[in-house]
Chain A
Amino acid sequence: MDMILNISGALCLLVGSFLCISGGVGLLRFPDFYTRMHAVGVTDTLGAGMILIGLMFYSPDFLIFSKLVIILLLTLLIGPTTSHVLAKAAMQNNLKPKLQQEDNIKETSSSNY
C-alpha cells in the first residue's frame, strides 16, 4: 500500500513538472499572445493541479491533505478564469491573433476597415 502511494505520487509529480516545463517552453517559443496564453493557461492549471495531487499522496495527515484540496480547488477556479479574462481584454483592445498566411491577414484587416 505504501509503495503504491509513493509510486503514484511520484508519477503525478513527474507529470506535473513536465507540464510546467512545457508551459515555460511554450511561453518562450510560441509566436503570438494568444498561443502563449494558451500554453501557460492550460499547462499551469493542469501542471499545478498534478503537482498538488502528487503532494496529496505524500501528505502525512488529514489537515495537510485538506489544505491541498482547498488550494487545488482554488487553482482550478482561478487559473482558467484569469486566462479567459486576459484573452478577452486582448480581444477588446484589438489585438488580433497571428494567422498563418500573409493574404489571410490582409483579407481580415481589409474587411474590418
Chain B
Amino acid sequence: MKDLFAVVMLLGIYSLLSASFFVAMDAVDVAFTEAAVGAGISTLLMLVVITITGRSEKTTRHKPLLALLVVVFTGSMLIYGTFDMPYFGIADAPIHSHVAPRYIQESMKEVGIPNIVTSVLASYRAFDTFGEVVVIFTAGIGVMALLSVGRRPEENEKTTAIDDSMHEQYLVIRIVTKMLIPFILLYALYVQFHGDFGPGGGFQAGVIFAAAIILYTMLFGLTTARKVINQSFIQFIAAAGVLLYGCVGIVSMLNGANFFDYNALASDPVAGQHLGILLIEWGVGCTVASVMIMIFFNFAERREMQQNNEKINNIEGDSL
C-alpha cells in the first residue's frame, strides 16, 4: 500500500480490534492500555509525522524480494516455535505454575490492592516498570535532540490574523472541544488514582492527559498552547516523574530493604505498599504525559517552521 495515511488508519483499527479481543479474554487492563496507547496516541503521533514527511511512500526501483524472503523465513520460524508452546488456556502451563499462583493468592495480603494487575506492575515487577518509564523518557529526549527548533520567532501580526480567520472556520469543533477538555482531564485523573481498584494506572492516565492537551494544541495553535504549557516546564516534569520513581526505590533501600521494596516505606507493610504504588504511579503518569506532549510539540513546531518557510518562499517568488 502506497498511501501512508491509509496504513496508519489500518494500524489504528487493528489496535482497536485487538483491544476488543483483550476485553473478550478478560484482560481489561491490557485492553485499556491498547486502546489508549495503540489506537489513540500512537495513531495520532504517526499522523503528525505524516504531515511532515508527506503522504505517499517513495517509489522503490528495486524489487524487494530479499526483504520478502527474510519476512517469510522469520514468520515461518516463529510459527514453528509456537508448536512447542502449551495449548491455549491449559491449566498446567509453565506460566500458570511459576509465580502466578502467589500473585493471585497472596497479593491481597501482601499488597492489599484489589486490582492484581496494578500490584504486579507496580510492586512485584516495579523494576521492569521503572525500565519502561526510562525508555519513554529516553524516547522523549531523542525526539527533542533531533527535532527541537531553537528559539521560536516572535509572533507577528500576520499570524494573529491567520489565527482569527481560523477561529471562524473551526468554530463548532473549538466550542465542543472547550466543553470536553475539562472532562477528559478529570477522567485522566480518575484513571490515575483509580488504578488500584479497577483498570487504569499511570500509563493510561498520562496518555489521556496528553491527548487532551494535544487536542487543544491542534485546534488553538501551537503558540496558544505554548502559553499554557511552556517547553522547559514540560521537560522539568518529564524528568521529575522518572526521578520520583527512582527516589521511591532509593528511599526503600535507605530504610534497609531491597530496591523498590515498599514494605519499608511505612511502619505497616501494607500501608508502605499503598504509599509506594501511589507515588510511582504518579511518577509514571507525569513522565508519560509530558513526554507525549513534548513529542507532539516538537513535531508540530517542525511542521510550522516548514510551513513558514514555504510561505516566505511563495512571497519571494511572487515579488520576483
Q: Which residues of A contact B (CB under 8 A)?
A: 77-78, 81, 84-85, 88
Shortest B94–chain A CB gap in Å is: 39
Distance in angstroms between the alpha carbons of A1 and B176 in the assembled complex: 39
In the complex, chain A residues whose CB is within 8 Å of the CB of B169: 88
Alpha-carbon distance A85/B179, docked complex (angstroms) = 16
9 nearest A-B pairs in the assembled complex, by CB-CB distance = A81-B176, A85-B173, A84-B172, A81-B173, A77-B176, A81-B172, A77-B180, A77-B179, A84-B173
Contacts of B176 in A (CB 8 A): 77-78, 81
Name 7 A/B residue pairs within 8 A (Cβ), A-sorted: A77-B176, A77-B180, A78-B176, A84-B172, A84-B173, A85-B173, A88-B169
Closest to B176 in A: A81
Question: Chain B residues with Cβ under 8 A from A85's Cβ?
Answer: 172-173
**For the complex, would chain A's binding face be called helix, strand, loop or mixed by DSSP majority?**
helix
* Shortest beta-carbon distance from A81 to chain B in Å: 5
Please give the number of chain B residues whose Cβ is less than 8 angstroms from any Cβ of chain A in the complex.
Answer: 6
State the main secondary structure of chain B at its contact with A: helix
Cβ distance B2 to chain A, nearest Cβ, rounded Å: 19
CB contacts (< 8 Å) of B173 on chain A: these are 81, 84-85
Question: Inside 8 A of A88's CB, which chain B residues have their CB?
Answer: 169
A113 and B169 CA atoms in complex are apart in Å by: 24
CA separation between A84 and B174, bound complex, in Å?
12
Contact indicator per residue, chain B 77-89, by CB within 8 Å of chain A (1) or not (0)? 0000000000000
- Per the bound structure, the CA–CA distance linking A23 and B173 in Å amounts to 24
- The distance from the CB of B36 to the nearest CB of chain A, in whole angstroms, is 16
Collect the chain B residues with CB atoms within 8 Å of residue A78's CB.
176, 180
Known pairs A81-B176, A84-B173, A88-B169; list 10 more (Cβ under 8 Å).
Answer: A77-B176, A77-B179, A77-B180, A78-B176, A78-B180, A81-B172, A81-B173, A84-B172, A85-B172, A85-B173
C-alpha gap A88/B219 in the complex (Å): 14
Measured in the bound complex, the distance between the Cα atoms of B180 and A107 in whole Å is 43
Shortest C-beta distance, A24 to chain B (Å), equals: 16
Provide the bound-state CA to CA distance between A84 and B175, in Å: 13
A84-B177 Cα distance, complex, nearest whole Å = 13
Bound-complex Cα distance A44 to B195 (A): 31
| Least distance between A100 CB and chain B CB atoms (Å) | 29
Instruction: Map CB proximity to A onto B174-201 as digits: 1 under 8 Å, 0 otherwise.
Output: 0010011000000000000000000000
In the complex, what residue of chain A is closest to B172 when comparing beta carbons? A84
In Å, the complex CA distance between A84 and B176 comes to 11
